[in-house]
Structure 1
Amino acid sequence: MNKIPLHFGNQVSGDSFSVLWKLEDVSGKFDFENKNLCFIFSHLSVKYKFEISFENIWKIELYLPRGQATNFLLIQLLGAPRIYVKDVSDVGRYEWVREVDFTPSRCIGQSYALCLELPKKRRLQKLHLDFFHYQENKNQFRLIEGSPYSFSSVLVPIVNPPTGFDLPYKILFKINSLIQHGCVPGPAIVDDFYRLVDPKKIKFENMIESALDKLFHLKDCCYEPVKWLMEEYKRYAASTRFQKTPAISLDDGLVYIHRVQITPSKVYFGGPEVSLSNRVLRRYPEDIDNFLRVSFVDEDLDKIHSITLAPRSSSANEDKRTRVYDRILSTLRNGIVIGDKKFEFLAFSSSQVRENSVWMFASRPGLTAADIREWMGDFRDIRNVAKYGARLGQSFGSSRETVSVGIDEIKVIPDVEIKKGQVTYCFSDGIGKISEELARKVATKLPCSSVPSAFQIRHGGYKGVVALDPTSSVKLSLRKSMCKYKSDNTKLDVLAWSKFQPCFLNRQIIILLSNLGVKDRAFLKRQREAIDQLNAILIDPLGAQEALEMMFAGEISKVLKEMLICGYKPDAEPFLSMMLQTFRASKLMDMRLRTRIFVPNGRALMGCLDETRTLEYGQVFLQVSRFSRELSNFICEGKVVVAKNPCLHPGDVRVLEAVNVPVLHHMVDCVVFPQKGKRPHPNECSGSDLDGDTYFVSWDLDLIPPRQIEPMEYIAAPTKQADHDVTIEEVEEYFTDYMVNDNLGIIDNAHVVFADSEPRKAMSPKCMELAKLHSIAVDFPKTGIVAEIPDYLHVKEYPDFMEKPNKKSYISKSVIGKLFREVKDIALPTSPAESFTLDLAKQHYDPEMEVDGFEDYLSDAFKYKSDYDYKLRNMMEYYGIQTEAEILSGNVLKMSKHFDRKRDVDAIKYAVKSLRMEARNWFNEGSDADNITDNAKAKASAWYHVTYHHTYWGRRYAEETQGMDRAHFLSFPWCIYDKLLQIKKDKKSKSGFWFCVIFLIFAFLVPIVLWLSLSGFFGGLILVFYRYL
């Protein structure tokens, strides 16, 4: 396509396109091999390029209007194109450099479609093959002149109501979200729309958020939102049932947080999303809407790579930066305005900086972002900018508040250190002790069914782990290595605790173990055993129960296990079957994408210190709980292999001797290291410590490597110290510079490639150099020292198991390649769980679940199921999760690109758990939750009936599903699984009782009848009579 007009704008009706910006002579190309659409053009004598990945295209329509001179190719976008500018600053060479929206009023950012004018004779090939949502029509189509609609001229599109309207923040946030996600066209948000969502101007004020939420979940863009809202309010007025809020009632410790994603050209509002609280949010609960989580992502919502912020031609020592860098830094410094709130930079946690995310706060009279930082602690002694930023974020780690521990209840104890030459090793780095009395109180608060042996904590300016000490009378014994800054906060916040955690191999560990002599057949055997176990769960009840107990923790796992124990068959009960199918698909997908293989003889364990000084160098104490409480704990003795992810150096893998130490028997589900020797074992494992790191530990003899090599020295580079107090502006600049220098992913990938292709594998010079660079890059958030990757360590060709379709690749001959090819054809990328059809409803309804009087509760049960399904479906659509089984189990196979499967799955689990708790509260209203009465059984029976009976299949309230595509869900009654299983057990018990009665009657009568039959004719008559009966 050459010299064609290109229009940016928005479709505002079925036949109209509102143009915001136009280019005349554009060359365009559909690149089907690399799956992207490219446009090149000149503007004001500067050469530009637009790139749009096919994934970023929602729908393509080719208009072939009769009687018009041109055809129109309308491309509806999910996000903005990647913009490049041709940099010719170097003589004799040029480079395409990333650019931000350069148009007047940022028109590209305000556009959600582009339209190409094509000559009538132009024919486009293959589009219908590559785009599922492609269609042609011969309707009339017109281009109309549009105007920018965004209130902000920098971060677009953000709208504000006109004068005379004072909308609540939450409503204004939802309106912006609707525009930014393409649910309504920006030009359609007019005064009449604002009037219909102003609580002061309409009588349906409690329905506004519900209506906007429903508008977000419509299948298609709503071109007439004013008309739609008026019709929606009419439905509300005519409805006889109480309209529910779309929000879920949250459990304690959870909060709703709004978030914003900023791309080089656009901005997206999201949420409010369920999140585990942190110390700061708990301190200011009334200001929860003044906190905002802000992330910086690329146009297709992938992570922003360093090349986007700094051209390839620049080095780490140059300050050559793109305008995308400037956009991020200016956003941090200037903040974000939403309505009457101005959000300013607050801080970022250690995980946030790796995800390019920060916290912002909207100051109010009496409380500013600076006030919050001052409350958090005294950071003035920290003169390194990177470390200063890290310490600010310490209070933002997701945690649970437990009890207060005063200064007088804490004892500071010395660290265990040893000096070797110029290096000082700290054996106790990050770990202290907790008394048994306090541990019990903390366990009750969490709550835990038993007292954990170790807790990862925050207390004031201290961070790390406290391990149980039965001999201690001091509540908390903390060490200097745990103290990061001064703080008066006395709350003990818990981030994690020791518990049963299954163990999995991954690529890095397999690469190193293979390099150290573990045979390929050992890994292949473990994978085949894991696959056989996953296949068996679909047909074998005992196998399914064991797999769930060993590999799948959580509330839903408990439900499934109880169903199996009660006698439900994995291939017969629809809910159980779909959950097990999804569990299997998720584990198989992990095997394919991450080479994640379950190891039965192993655990993932929190590291602790032997406070008794019993263990010698080279020894560990290892006691683990079993998956079943009926089984006693297992104390491991003999050789074990220990590693800590990430691990790149072959010396990161240690073979140690597990010994039985009676004075350490109180330590369960953690690996206890010695405080003796030439060097701490945790430090030998990837330079780790004891402040909460989780270790891979296995006593599987087939996985114990026959040899070891010396561990790498992990000595942090000296940090840069400022000669003044660190300013918040310096922290903001450091955050942006981190994005420029964040090359951990590049180093990790390069190591995988060279460990696969180099003759000496992970021991090759290239891999050894990458291991050193990785150590520097890991410490960058604390030191600010950049790990520069030389050209010879950049990858040119990838092994097949990395699945880089647009890159040059080869067939890997390593064990990773063998494992990949064994599993790739069975690991389905999408959910295999079939939907619950009408035929299945007729086939699988269980009449044994009917209890006398259940009919009296059907009306309420149907109402509650509709409410539950509505909230669950909204949650699924928001996160882009396809099936009920995925969102319930947390085994998510695919989700919206606005979210990350690894990062956001915990938030999803919290939301689902809260929804299930809300459903249980509905059930328990007006009844005793602990006693299963006949009425409770009848109510539970009704919940089952409205879910499974074919007469209720597909039924829901009409006003809730107008314009929506909603599946029939099965999980609703299993929120009260204990009641359903009790009904099932009672029916089994009754049928068993009558079977015993009949058996005993026959056992008693048969001998008598036989005896009488021998007594002649009278006996014969009796026998005839008996047979007749």
Structure 2
Amino acid sequence: IRVLLSEPGDLEKFVEFCGVVGLRAPTRGRRIDATGLEKFFAQRRVDRLTGWMKSLDWPVAFQVAALLHNGLLNTQEIESIRPIITQLSNKSAEHTGDTLRLFTEKTRSQTSFRQPLELLDELVNYRASNQPRRTPPAGHFFCSHVTITPTRMLLEGPYITQSNRVIRKYDQFKDHFIRVEFREENRQKYRWEREVDVLEFLTSRVGAKLKGGVDVAGRRFSFVAYSPSALRNHSLWFVCEEGFRPPVQILKELGNFSATTNQPAKRAARMGVSTNACYVPQCTKASFQQAFSATQPSIKVSKDQIVEIPDITGPHNNPARPPHVFTDGIGTISPKLRDRICEALSISTKPDAFQVRCAGLKGVFVVDHQLEGKIMCPRPSMKKFLPLDESEDAEIEIVRAFDKPGRSFLNRPLVMVLEDRGVKTEGFLELFNDAVADARTAHDSVDQFVAVLQKHRLGIPYRLDQTLLKLKALGLVLRTGQDQESLDTDFLARVRLCVIKHILRDIRHSARIPIPGSYQLVGVADEGQAYINAGKENVFTLRQGQIYACIQDPSDAEPQWLQGTCVISRSPVVHPGDVQRVYAIGKPPENQLCAFARLKNVVVFASRGTLPLANCLGGDGHVTRLFITEQVDPTEYDAREPYTLDRPVTLDDICDFVVEYIHSDVVGLVADTHIIIADASSDGTLDRRCLELAKMHSQAVDYLKNGIPVDIRRMPRRLIPFKPDWHEAEDESSHPCDYYRSNRALGHMYRTKLDEDRETLAHVEVDSYGDSISQVVQQRVNGYPLAQASHQEQRNVLRIVETIFKRYQDELRYICMTHSLTDAADDCLREEEVIASTILAKCSQKGWRKDRLHRMRECATHLVQETRRDLIGDLEVAPSEEVRNGLHKAWAAWQQSINHRAENSTELFGTQSFGWLALGAVLDCLENLGVINRK
């Protein structure tokens, strides 16, 4: 437990009470008087250090500030290394900043204390022959991160981050932008408590930073904007205007956002704001979120290539309400323009739909094969703001390309709703048991292991599935068989354990269970009615209650048309009506003009009827093949008018909105209360309290757009003061008496014994060093000897490979240290966790691990791409001779990893994953040379 003491004498009282009740007295640490004799943090000393940091280039200054603010070094210790930092910085600020970044990690993780100067000297000498190459890939940049807690300011990174329109516009000034997160002391999100009103604290701590700025390394950073997904994580963009420009000027240069001048939430969502001193009427708030959303730049289009078309609307039967819009946020794009985008982004499988940002437009563009030329056709419902100069070419920014179907999984809310809609517990248990058994087949064969990896999207940064399939093509198997060599190693077996534990944990604690024959698809509209309105004849259109879906994975030879009764649901599921039964029409008739006949990997909704199905559901559709015996009508909540001021919005209003949002961010709390009450009630999700919570959940989701918070004090209370057993935290921090035995399907699945923490390597025979792999692959490599390679050249290759490995090892260690779930010096991710794309440590707040895991995968992906480029270059454009050179360099890297493992009694960190990375590069070269044929 953690005990907080408020008075100086409380510690002595606590020790006394421990003796009274028979508890061991707490261990006393060394007392540190920060303002005593040494005066480490006297204002004069801090000011002198801040002045020095201000004189340094940003990459160096940020790392020095991290040493101070993260509590790794005090001011005196930083002064001791100041001369060497200044000397290094004068040579190369980028190299010095990178060296200090690794020095920060080594200082935090050292098990026995060493003098900072000694440790830095050692690292500088080591890095002198190991120049860093941290080059961000296209559409990304390195961004510094600041976390502000109630008592601390923590500095991390810089981390690889996907760029956005603003960063690309001011590419030369990208170091002026930082990400700032507001968190609890344990680095988790602020959580609403019924008994505590934290608004006053948030106003003073968070609001003060938003309005007054954040000082980092002698520089003042001011709040500028946020994206919707970032604000949900309480993360914002700040900018340093010194040597650049103030936030108001940045916003003014992005577009004309005058439509929401008086609405704080929409103005923050389209974000163009004014300061108290200077009001900027043409900037509004909803579209600056759009400008700061992470996107991938593709191509530019001229004004003539953007042709607006009208929305398809339903009948206007209710004068008090506008007619329903069937094409809300949906536009069309010609095949030729789609092909140009794919060419620019090197997309081999051409998608039929993109999520796009372009010239103030936001939404999904779907290929219309009736369109000629290279044009895109947006609709009025997609327009969020106007560009400042409509005559300029506009860049098409891609948020997502829907080039393959997503896999659909159950989750706890969906299980609860489906059970109330008639699905039996036995059906869920069958899927549960199948999912558990399927995960454990990862030990059985290469095909099974690859299928598990691909189904759960694991091992992607290291392209582990592709490496395994190529080894299989060379005749290797997972289990040793007759006349067949095994590719298994002790490390690969540990990776499989990580994969299995990750999947079993998700199954037990989130009910994340694959649904066979189901898909997650983006919803689009049937354009047939637009064809009819344009005067075309013999047009086939969907009727209300019908959908169209054609599925084709890039690996599938033939497409699959879904036909028959299906179930489609929104994400997330809250109301029973969020799950609807529909009819999939299969392949459209060939004797009629059909707008969607050639579309794949989307779900098409009807554009006629009383209510758009997309409005009933919202979000991406999940098409499933579960049979439901009862039907519940979808709910429709009245749209709430955005909160509007009687004056123009100022920057202070936006700051107040952010504070209020953090205080009132209760989407998760409402959803959690909903499912707990549903479990305890005999009416399940149809309980009146649950229906009220479903309405509150809809309001909470819309809060970002309309600025109207949920009155959480009106939230229905739980029926009993206990929670169902399946709700118990995975870190076992709660007391068993707080839970009851649930009789719902979730309870039965939760109590099914999985023993995910007891998964072992029993009965798995492995090769410790991968000798079988070496023997089989070397036969192929020897077929491409290097021409006239002298011993000196061979030694040079080995030196290059050793340098590449050292860089890889440093970066991998940094990733493992900075993405653990705690700040403890000994808490570090294992190598096999990174290659498997998981974090196995238990955590009471799933969102925290999810955030860390997402960033870890991004960093690992960049590290792998950079290391592969160092080894083999770009195989898509490399001539044959360069491919051969890369082949031998990568082969030397694989052999070196084998030798490291054989020569050291203890496993050298990084050698295992580096070896598998190098092996994948070798196999890619062999495939490029025609040696490997997987067909």
TM-score, reference length from structure 2: 0.82
User: Which residue of 1 is the match for residue 913 of structure 2?
Assistant: 970
1:777-816 aligned at under 5 Å gives the runs 777-790=700-713, 793-795=716-718, 796-804=721-729, 805-806=733-734, 808-816=738-746
User: Which residue of 2 is the match for residue 865 of structure 1?
Assistant: 805
Identify if the C-alpha distance between structure 1 residues 940 and 414 changes in structure 2 by more than 3 Å, giving closer, same or farther: same
Partners of 2:79 and 2:175 in 1: CA distance: 25
1:288-327 aligned at under 5 Å gives the runs 288-307=174-193, 312=195, 321-327=199-205
SS at match of 1:725: coil
Q: Does 1:167 align with 2:56?
A: yes
SS at match of 2:768: helix
User: Which residue of 2 is the match for residue 619 of structure 1?
Assistant: 546
1:526-605 aligned at under 5 Å gives the runs 526-552=431-457, 554=460, 555-570=463-478, 572-574=487-489, 576-605=492-521
Identify if the C-alpha distance between structure 1 residues 164 and 514 changes in structure 2 by more than 3 Å, giving closer, same or farther: closer
1:65-76 aligned at under 5 Å gives the runs none
SS at match of 2:147: strand
User: Which residue of 1 is the match for residue 358 of structure 2?
Assistant: 459
CA shift digits 1:259-293 (9 cap, x unpaired): 11111111111110111111111111111111011
SS at match of 2:348: coil
Q: Does 1:776 align with 2:723?
A: no
Partners of 1:240 and 1:461 in 2: CA distance: 46
Q: Does 1:639 align with 2:565?
A: yes
Q: Does 1:670 align with 2:602?
A: yes
Letter in 2 for 1:974: L
Q: Does 1:216 align with 2:71?
A: no
CA contact (8 A) 1:196 1:202 kept: no
Q: Does 1:903 align with 2:851?
A: yes
1:273 aligned to which of 154, 159, 166: 159
CA contact (8 A) 1:183 1:215 kept: no
User: Which residue of 1 is the match for residue 620 of structure 2?
Assistant: 694
Cα distance, 1:305 vs. partner?
Answer: 2.0
Partners of 1:720 and 1:985 in 2: CA distance: 59
CA contact (8 A) 2:835 2:913 kept: no
Identify if the C-alpha distance between structure 1 residues 166 and 950 changes in structure 2 by more than 3 Å, giving closer, same or farther: closer
Identity of aligned residues (%): 22
Q: Does 1:373 align with 2:251?
A: yes
Which segments of 5 or more consecutive residues in structure 1 lack a partner in the other structure? 1-34, 44-48, 50-72, 74-114, 129-133, 315-319, 991-1029
CA contact (8 A) 2:310 2:379 kept: yes
Cα distance, 1:225 vs. partner?
Answer: 9.5
CA contact (8 A) 2:550 2:559 kept: yes
User: Which residue of 2 is the match for residue 356 of structure 1?
Assistant: 234
SS at match of 1:197: helix
SS at match of 2:259: coil
Letter in 1 for 2:445: D
CA contact (8 A) 1:261 1:269 kept: yes
Letter in 2 for 1:826: D
User: Which residue of 2 is the match for residue 176 of structure 1?
Assistant: 65
1:982-1001 aligned at under 5 Å gives the runs none
SS at match of 1:570: coil
Letter in 1 for 2:914: S
CA contact (8 A) 1:643 1:654 kept: yes
Which segments of 5 or more consecutive residues in structure 2 lack a partner in the other structure? 272-288, 480-486, 530-540, 821-827
User: Which residue of 2 is the match for residue 649 of structure 1?
Assistant: 575
SS at match of 2:752: helix
User: Which residue of 1 is the match for residue 219 of structure 2?
Assistant: 341
CA contact (8 A) 1:257 1:293 kept: yes
User: Which residue of 2 is the match for residue 514 of structure 1?
Assistant: 419
CA contact (8 A) 2:51 2:218 kept: no
Identify if the C-alpha distance between structure 1 residues 593 and 171 changes in structure 2 by more than 3 Å, giving closer, same or farther: same
Identify if the C-alpha distance between structure 1 residues 651 and 122 changes in structure 2 by more than 3 Å, giving closer, same or farther: closer
CA contact (8 A) 1:615 1:674 kept: yes
SS at match of 1:401: strand
2:395 aligned to which of 471, 481, 491: 491
CA shift digits 1:483-531 (9 cap, x unpaired): 1122247111110121221111111111111111011122111121111
Letter in 1 for 2:65: N
User: Which residue of 2 is the match for residue 24 of structure 1?
Assistant: none
User: Which residue of 2 is the match for residue 501 of structure 1?
Assistant: 406
Partners of 1:431 and 1:443 in 2: CA distance: 20
| Coordinate RMSD, CA, aligned | 3.9
Letter in 2 for 1:626: D
Identify if the C-alpha distance between structure 1 residues 480 and 736 changes in structure 2 by more than 3 Å, giving closer, same or farther: same
User: Which residue of 2 is the match for residue 36 of structure 1?
Assistant: 2
CA shift digits 1:886-938 (9 cap, x unpaired): 32343333499999333354443332222222222222369984537665544
CA shift digits 1:391-417 (9 cap, x unpaired): 121111111011112222111111111
Kindly tell me the number of residue pairs found equivalent between the two proteins: 847
Identify if the C-alpha distance between structure 1 residues 679 and 147 changes in structure 2 by more than 3 Å, giving closer, same or farther: farther
Letter in 2 for 1:615: L
Cα distance, 1:179 vs. partner?
Answer: 3.1
SS at match of 1:569: coil
1:65-144 aligned at under 5 Å gives the runs none
Deviates more, 1:493-502 or 1:375-384: 375-384
Partners of 1:386 and 1:342 in 2: CA distance: 26
Identify if the C-alpha distance between structure 1 residues 380 and 946 changes in structure 2 by more than 3 Å, giving closer, same or farther: same
Partners of 2:712 and 2:846 in 1: CA distance: 30
Partners of 1:425 and 1:748 in 2: CA distance: 27
Deviates more, 1:175-184 or 1:343-352: 175-184
Cα distance, 1:381 vs. partner?
Answer: 2.3
Cα distance, 1:827 vs. partner?
Answer: 2.7
CA contact (8 A) 2:901 2:911 kept: no
Q: Does 1:877 align with 2:817?
A: yes
Cα distance, 1:178 vs. partner?
Answer: 2.3
CA shift digits 1:145-165 (9 cap, x unpaired): 357655899xx9999445698
Identify if the C-alpha distance between structure 1 residues 887 and 425 changes in structure 2 by more than 3 Å, giving closer, same or farther: same
Letter in 2 for 1:939: K
Identify if the C-alpha distance between structure 1 residues 620 and 478 changes in structure 2 by more than 3 Å, giving closer, same or farther: same
Identify if the C-alpha distance between structure 1 residues 648 and 119 changes in structure 2 by more than 3 Å, giving closer, same or farther: closer
Give the structure with the higher percent strand.
1
SS at match of 1:209: helix
Deviates more, 1:672-681 or 1:932-941: 932-941
User: Which residue of 1 is the match for residue 837 of structure 2?
Assistant: 890
Partners of 2:46 and 2:473 in 1: CA distance: 54
Deviates more, 1:201-210 or 1:672-681: 201-210
Identify if the C-alpha distance between structure 1 residues 244 and 902 changes in structure 2 by more than 3 Å, giving closer, same or farther: same
1:931 aligned to which of 880, 901, 906: 880
Identify if the C-alpha distance between structure 1 residues 163 and 251 changes in structure 2 by more than 3 Å, giving closer, same or farther: closer
Deviates more, 1:370-379 or 1:186-195: 186-195
2:869 aligned to which of 921, 931, 936: 921
CA contact (8 A) 1:516 1:650 kept: yes
SS at match of 2:141: strand
Identify if the C-alpha distance between structure 1 residues 157 and 417 changes in structure 2 by more than 3 Å, giving closer, same or farther: farther
Identify if the C-alpha distance between structure 1 residues 814 and 146 changes in structure 2 by more than 3 Å, giving closer, same or farther: farther
User: Which residue of 1 is the match for residue 535 of structure 2?
Assistant: none
Identify if the C-alpha distance between structure 1 residues 120 and 528 changes in structure 2 by more than 3 Å, giving closer, same or farther: closer
Cα distance, 1:983 vs. partner?
Answer: 6.4
User: Which residue of 1 is the match for residue 755 of structure 2?
Assistant: 826
User: Which residue of 1 is the match for residue 81 of structure 2?
Assistant: 193
User: Which residue of 2 is the match for residue 722 of structure 1?
Assistant: 645
Cα distance, 1:171 vs. partner?
Answer: 1.6
Partners of 2:113 and 2:256 in 1: CA distance: 51
Q: Does 1:683 align with 2:571?
A: no
Identify if the C-alpha distance between structure 1 residues 861 and 818 changes in structure 2 by more than 3 Å, giving closer, same or farther: same
Identify if the C-alpha distance between structure 1 residues 985 and 536 changes in structure 2 by more than 3 Å, giving closer, same or farther: farther
Give the structure with the higher percent helix.
2
Identify if the C-alpha distance between structure 1 residues 559 and 767 changes in structure 2 by more than 3 Å, giving closer, same or farther: same
SS at match of 1:37: coil
Partners of 1:120 and 1:792 in 2: CA distance: 40
Partners of 2:336 and 2:253 in 1: CA distance: 30
Identify if the C-alpha distance between structure 1 residues 167 and 322 changes in structure 2 by more than 3 Å, giving closer, same or farther: same
Partners of 2:667 and 2:543 in 1: CA distance: 35
Letter in 2 for 1:812: S
Partners of 2:48 and 2:918 in 1: CA distance: 41
Identify if the C-alpha distance between structure 1 residues 569 and 582 changes in structure 2 by more than 3 Å, giving closer, same or farther: farther
Partners of 1:926 and 1:453 in 2: CA distance: 28
